[in-house]
């Protein structure tokens, strides 16, 4: 697996006393409240995915004796086309359903079931997204087939590699975040696909962050972000902090590129998002090869 960084690896040594290795008797997975109640040293890394989706990363970091603080930065809410999805699936036929994230997969499954589970062929970006469909795709019904994943877990690669299944115009349904770029639909359209995009969900910043939690998060040397939306939410939180320039660990190239465009310098991300796009594998690699060298530098 390859990694990219705006810094040379290994990272330069941090200021004295910034990082500390942890002894036994540490925070249990996901127990942010107990962490706050204890007089513990500052966390090593802040994990920022939506509530309920940080446990595996926290557990992976714990194996390397790394202290985590859970601080969800965004949450998913219905998009303007959420209610339209079942109707569209019931009234039209598509050659492909293009799904680019676990959240898009979960929202699609709800709409698909509401439509009566019509027969569909799904293209996914990444093994993590594919796993959301495991229970349905492995059932005896066989009405949902996960039939394609691109060679690299990125939307633009899916747009360039998605196979045509007929000589006539191929129809693609693209249920997406309202904040997703037009990269996929434009890439497919340029190749002659007919794309119907539905904005089935969106993300909003988490507003109710306790001041003590935020203070601890700002003190951490590493913040792990899984999307450009989470990155922007973090920058808004630290906008009043002078010269915040700690490390940003991004889940992949898309978020890493967004971090660069926003002017951040201390950025680290995998250029290939894990084996076969497996986000969970990347989380393990992050814990052992990115965060640990920072703490032991």
Residue by residue, pLDDT tens for the chain (297 residues) are: 444 554 323 333 333 333 333 332 333 334 455 445 455 567 888 999 888 888 888 887 887 778 889 999 999 999 999 999 999 999 999 999 999 988 999 999 999 999 999 999 999 998 888 989 988 877 767 799 999 999 988 899 999 999 998 878 899 999 999 999 999 999 999 999 999 999 999 999 998 888 889 889 998 888 999 888 999 999 998 887 777 888 888 877 788 888 899 888 888 877 655 433 344 544 554 554 455 454 444
DSSP 86-152: HHHHHH---SEEEE-SHHHHHHHHHHHHHTT---EEEEESSHHHHHHTHHHHTSSS--EEEEE--SS
Distant-in-sequence, close-in-space partners of 186: CB < 8 Å, separation ≥ 6: 159
**Using an 8 Å Cβ cutoff, are 52 and 30 in contact?**
no
**Using an 8 Å Cβ cutoff, are 187 and 159 in contact?**
yes
Map out the domains of the chain with their CATH numbers.
3-73+206-296 (3.40.50.10090), 76-204 (3.40.50.10090)
Distance of CA 92 to the CA centre of its chain: 30
Helix (H) or strand (E) holding 248: strand 247-250
pLDDT of residue 280: 54
> Hey, what are 296's tokens?
């032991």
> pTM of this prediction?
0.72
Q: Residue 131 burial by CB count (10 A; 0-12/13-18/19+): exposed, middle or buried?
A: middle
């Amino acid at each position: 697996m390859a990694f990219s960084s705006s810094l040379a690896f290994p990272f330069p040594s941090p200021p004295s006393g910034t990082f500390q290795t942890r002894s036994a008797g540490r925070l249990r997975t996901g127990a942010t409240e107990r962490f706050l109640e204890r007089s513990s040293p500052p966390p090593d890394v802040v994990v920022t995915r939506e509530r309920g989706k940080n446990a595996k990363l926290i557990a992976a970091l714990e194996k390397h004796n790394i202290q985590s603080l859970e601080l969800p930065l965004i949450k998913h809410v219905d998009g303007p086309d959420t209610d339209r999805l079942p109707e569209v699936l019931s009234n039209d036929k598509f050659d492909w359903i293009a799904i680019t994230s676990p959240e898009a997969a979960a929202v699609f499954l709800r709409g698909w079931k509401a439509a009566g589970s019509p027969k569909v062929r799904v293209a996914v970006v990444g093994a993590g997204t594919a796993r959301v469909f495991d229970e349905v795709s492995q059932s005896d019904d066989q009405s949902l087939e996960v039939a394609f994943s691109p060679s690299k877990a990125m939307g633009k690669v899916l747009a360039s590699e998605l196979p045509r299944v007929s000589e006539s115009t191929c129809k693609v349904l693209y249920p997406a975040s309202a904040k997703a770029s037009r990269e996929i639909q434009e890439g497919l359209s340029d190749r002659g696909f007919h794309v119907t995009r539905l904005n089935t969900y969106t993300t909003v910043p988490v507003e109710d962050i306790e001041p003590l939690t935020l203070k601890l998060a700002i003190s951490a040397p590493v913040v792990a972000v899984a999307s450009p939306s989470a990155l922007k939410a973090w920058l808004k939180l630290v906008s009043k902090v002078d010269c915040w320039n700690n490390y940003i660990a991004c889940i992949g190239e898309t978020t890493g590129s967004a971090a660069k465009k926003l002017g951040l310098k201390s950025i680290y991300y995998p250029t290939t998002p894990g084996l076969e796009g497996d986000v969970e594998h990347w989380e393990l690699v992050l814990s052992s090869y990115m965060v640990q060298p920072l703490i032991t530098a």
